[in-house]
Every structure is written in structure tokens, then in C-alpha cells.
Amino acid sequence: MIGYPVNRVALFIDGLNLSATSRALGFDIDHKRLLREFESQGKLLRAFYYTRTIEQDQEFSSLRPMIDWLDHNGFTVITKPTKEYIDASGRRKVKYSMDIELAVDVMELAGQVDQIVLFSGDGNFRSLVAAVQRRGVRVTVVSSLATQPPMIADELRRQADEFIDLLELQAKIVRVAVVRPRAASVARKLAVGELASSARPTSSTSAAPE
């Protein structure tokens, strides 16, 4: 990764796009480790995370715990409710896009940063990247070419000053499963019990003589 002295950095994360990319690569992201990784690259001014909420049941949405955690752990979370509609063929569709919100925030902050890191592979952001570059801001795009098909749009990758494949960051940002001591102890006891049971001779009953 390119390093710059006194580098003022802002992260802009397309949440659904990043989640889809990490799933396609076969690993879960530890967002605290992700934040720490980019804090080490310079002065991190902001980390924006854009995601949807479920309009009908926001409080009990499966995304709610994650949204709350991000909001209290260094991220500025921007949410937008999904909207459902019926198309011409009578099928129910879900409408959701955070492109405008993300673009507005990028342009507002462009004068205060040296580098913007965009976590998205959406080709719709190519013009945004070009506009920011004209203001003298370097743009790094994080997505992946390693998936089939690639998650990164070719025009976005070519426009960026730097492209980082999410796969290259895996070792630094992967969520590592933590086994609690009590759970590990129970697992060991169960394993020992199973071994003891398998080692114990089985008793056989013989038929009584007539």
C-alpha cells in the first residue's frame, strides 16, 4: 500500500457491496481490525459506513446489532430504509441505493483530506472518483478481482489511483472465531468422555441354557 507523510484519510464503505465481496471470497470481516489497519496508514479523519434498514421492521432487523456496534466503535453509520414496490408484472421488488448520499459526503469532505478509500466495486462511482481526483485527492478503491465474476467494475479500477484487492487484506481484517474458556473446557470434557466410552469394553449377554 502507498504510504504518505501526515496522510489525512477518510473511508467510505458501501456496506452491502463490501459484505457481498467478503462472502464471495469466503471470509467475514472484523470491522475493528479493518479500522485499525487504515488508522496505521495515516491520520484517519472519518470512516463512513453506508447500509440499508428494513422499512417494515427496523428495530428488529438482523442488521440492527451490527449497525449499533459500528456506530459506537469509530464508524459514522449512514442508513436508508429499503422501499418495496410491485413491478408491471406483479412481482414484489426492493429498491435501495446509497450512491447519492455517499457521493455528497465524499465531495463535502474532499477539501479536508489527502486520500479517500472507497470500499465498493460499483462502476457508477467512476465519475465521482474522477471529480475528487481533479481536486487533488488520491483515491484508493478496495474490491476484488479474485471473485467470479469480478466484484470490481473495470472502469472504476482503472480510474482509481490505487486498487487494493480485498483478498490481499484478508489476513489483516478477517474475523477470527474466539472460543470462550468455559466452552473450550466443556468441549474437552465431552471429548474425553467420548474417548472413555469408546475404550470401555461392551458387555454381551448370553442366552440361558434350556
- Specify the pTM: 0.77
**pLDDT-wise least confident of 84-88, 103-107, 109-113, 193-197:** 193-197
Per residue in 120-157, pLDDT (tens digit) is 999 999 999 999 999 999 999 999 999 999 999 999 99
Please list the residues that pair with 77 across neighbouring strands. 49
Cell of 171: 489476513
The percent of residues above 70 in pLDDT, for the chain, comes to 76
DSSP, res 111 = G
DSSP state of 112: G
Least confident of 6-20, 93-107, 160-174, 178-192: 178-192
Q: What are phi and psi of 88, to 5 degrees?
A: -60, -25
- The pLDDT assigned to 206 comes to 45
pLDDT single digits (tens) 42-93: 999 999 999 987 655 544 456 778 889 999 999 999 998 877 777 778 787 6
Provide the grid cell at 178: 474466539
Domains and CATH numbers, the chain: 8-198 (3.40.50.1010)
153-192 b/e with 16+ CB inside 10 Å = b?
beebbebbeebbbbbebeeebbeeeeeeeeeeeeeeeeee
**pLDDT confidence of 209, banded at 50, 70, 90?**
very low
Tell me how far apart the alpha carbons of residues 84 and 93 are, in angstroms, rounded to a whole number: 6
Cell of 115: 486520500
Q: What is the pLDDT of residue 91?
A: 80
Q: Can you read off the three cell numbers belonging to residue 132?
A: 475528487
Give CA–CA dist 16/32, Å, rounded.
17
SS3 state of residue 40: coil
